[in-house]
Homo-oligomer: A and B are copies of this chain.
Amino acid sequence: MTKAVQTKSQKRQEARHAQILDAAAACFVKEGFHGTSMSKVAAEAKMSVGHIYHYFASKEEIILALVEREQEQTLVKVSEALTIPAEDLVEGFTERLSDSLCNHATPFQSILNHEILAEAQRNPKVAEKVYETDAMVREIFTKMFRERLGIEDCEARIEAMSAMFHGLGSRTQRNPNIDIDGLLPITREFLRQIFGK
């Protein structure tokens, strides 16, 4: 019984955490980390300001938790890519790229991307999390190159591929009229080269 009660309160706690992070994410996308006030987050979360501080010690903690959550989602997406058979890698990645560019996102990264990178430039804790995730992503890709393609020396390939993914993501931000379909042949060729030999 004690256990049931505790589980219940834990569930509620997790629900509240998620509720707050969802609200914060929504606000941050609209207004940025520093353009969003805690009272806006509270309003969006349908919660009192004070209550938010019951769950997060500070606004920064919310940002950090959100960055962490984004990371986890990134890792999930990246891991999914691992299930693609070796012979379909080029097409699979091209498709993912195409899909996510249509949503103004990067295959493995969310809309909060720039906000997070901008913040990372001056908040070491955020930077640390960014480094961590990137390291894990590279690790996963390394595994992919080795186990699926038999390519051992893949560091540069992974860097180039990641650069292309993030770079294409930022293209939709700089050029709203970008012709995504026109880009596919060239990126497909690029991926063929990356995965090739």
Contacts and interface: CB of A to CB of B under 8 A. Distances in A.
Interface residues of A, number: 51
**Copies per complex of this chain:** 4
Interface in A109-156: 111, 114-115, 117-122, 130-131, 133-135, 138, 155-156
Given A34-B32, A189-B193, A163 B159 contact: no
Given A134-B175, A176-B131, A186 B157 contact: yes
A31 interface: yes
Interface of A: 29-35, 111, 114-115, 117-122, 130-131, 133-135, 138, 155-157, 159-160, 162-168, 170-171, 173-176, 178-179, 182-183, 185-187, 189-190, 193-194
15 contacts: A29-B121, A30-B122, A34-B35, A114-B117, A115-B118, A117-B173, A131-B174, A159-B168, A162-B171, A162-B174, A163-B171, A167-B168, A167-B170, A170-B170, A186-B194
